Structure 1
């Protein structure tokens, strides 16, 4: 998706429902797009109609359901998505001056989320390798040998995943639980965002990113200890930790491959990640993007 395409879709959707869109600007563009409408106080999400695994209507329903269970979430600005050509636009409240949560707040909110009773017929079950093939084939900087290795790596991890043991049972998951997906406003409001990955699965999945980022050196020992103490469980002590961390590293590598085109620094990091996965030394030397 190109920035101009996302802005055009959002501008058309907003003006069609009477919202000002003259100051629309792209916030993030990738597989999906995020566009800010400052005058309307709205953040718009744009997804291709043909995108697999993306359902803006379900995302809006999930937000309403989680809010009814006292889980802090961002609120939709409109109860229905809007179809504009080949794109679907959903409109969400904009939280100005918000910042990513600290790890203690993330742990507290994950405990609250994971304690919600499982719903009937609303959420899919976790699929650890969703979008793998699409990202593998479209990843910039991946050659044929990379794709062969990564596909074999996925197959081995899939077998291990099917045999993995999880100590915490099943719960409602965010699915992509990191600090930037939990915002805190200056007034102290907390809100989970990017709800398209919400699903049912083992809570260990949501805890793995923080533990892996700590292994990467992106958090201090004290920050990670505080996270573990607040949540009450260290996923690194779980028998499923070895396969969880490898699956997450595989996903992080493919995510980077989506944005490595024409960026030498990202291309070098992508090559480093693949090399360390092959050698078994990952995540040594992994940098954050």
Structure 2
């Protein structure tokens, strides 16, 4: 039996959603297939989630984007229509396209400083930081996982789930608005120099260290230089690696990155090789990581 083709399902759903949203019918180009399918037609970007269970999250992402934009945080803008439309098979949201390059760590820090100072309105009902249910969903939705890999990853999720809140309990600034996946790829610099934060489906409330540790993990993986990380720390005003919670935060982020990659491994031999290497590395915290970004 072949692996289900998410991209094919996403395109079929997108075609239906575009008709309902009165978006002119034409070819949608694939931008990327990962956590979601992302497609583009002219100046419009469409995001298609992998499961109907993500409808509430997609709706909240649109509301979050509108609130953040009105609050002075530079974000991508959803189209004005009510979305997502629950008459289609999977959650689809439409956005004004953002053209530009990934930002730098120091400019990422500038946006996070603004975001972390906001107080969300009560009716937005932002969730508390909890990365573990999403990890389980990714593993459950990856039928091609080797049994041993699945057992190992599920055991690590169960191990770190009670450890993370304990590690964060004594941390400063425990109740700020978080992006949830604050890496430089999620903030683009446009031609006029303006920034735009993308992928707002993980916005939540929790310890500010969660948004800071991703840049530190990327530094340790060799994806950022020491100078870039130093500039990030200067701009944000602290170094999360000096916090007692850092070892737990790093371990959870590495696990999260590996669970995310699981959903891509079935359709790409190179990704499958990378995924297998990451799973092996998770068993030894001291083992040098030679991970590649995806």
Q: Could you tell me how far 1:147 is from its partner in structure 2?
A: 2.1
Equivalent residue, structure 2, for 1:109: 111
2:182 to 172, 177, 180: 177
Counterpart CA distance in 2 for 1:258 and 1:243 is 24
Where do 5+ consecutive residues of structure 1 fail to align? none
Structure-to-structure mapping, 1:27-176, within 5 angstroms: 27-38=31-42, 41-48=43-50, 50-52=52-54, 55-81=57-83, 82-96=85-99, 98-122=100-124, 123-139=126-142, 142-164=145-167, 165-176=170-181
Question: How many corresponding residue pairs?
Answer: 286
Equivalent residue, structure 2, for 1:264: 269
> For 1:205, what is the secondary structure of its paired residue?
helix
Counterpart CA distance in 2 for 1:201 and 1:60 is 20
Counterpart CA distance in 2 for 1:84 and 1:94 is 24
In structure 2, the CA distance between the partners of 1:88 and 1:270, relative to structure 1 (3 Å rule), is closer
Q: Could you tell me how far 1:149 is from its partner in structure 2?
A: 2.0
Counterpart CA distance in 1 for 2:71 and 2:214 is 25
Q: Output one character per residue of 1:183-212: Cα deviation in whole Å (capped at 9) or x when no partner.
A: 111012211111110000001001111000
Q: Could you tell me how far 1:46 is from its partner in structure 2?
A: 1.6
Equivalent residue, structure 1, for 2:257: 252
Equivalent residue, structure 1, for 2:238: 233
Q: Could you tell me how far 1:141 is from its partner in structure 2?
A: 5.7
> For 2:122, what is the secondary structure of its paired residue?
coil
Equivalent residue, structure 1, for 2:14: 10
Normalising by structure 1, report the TM-score.
Answer: 0.91
Where do 5+ consecutive residues of structure 2 fail to align? none
In structure 2, the CA distance between the partners of 1:226 and 1:117, relative to structure 1 (3 Å rule), is same
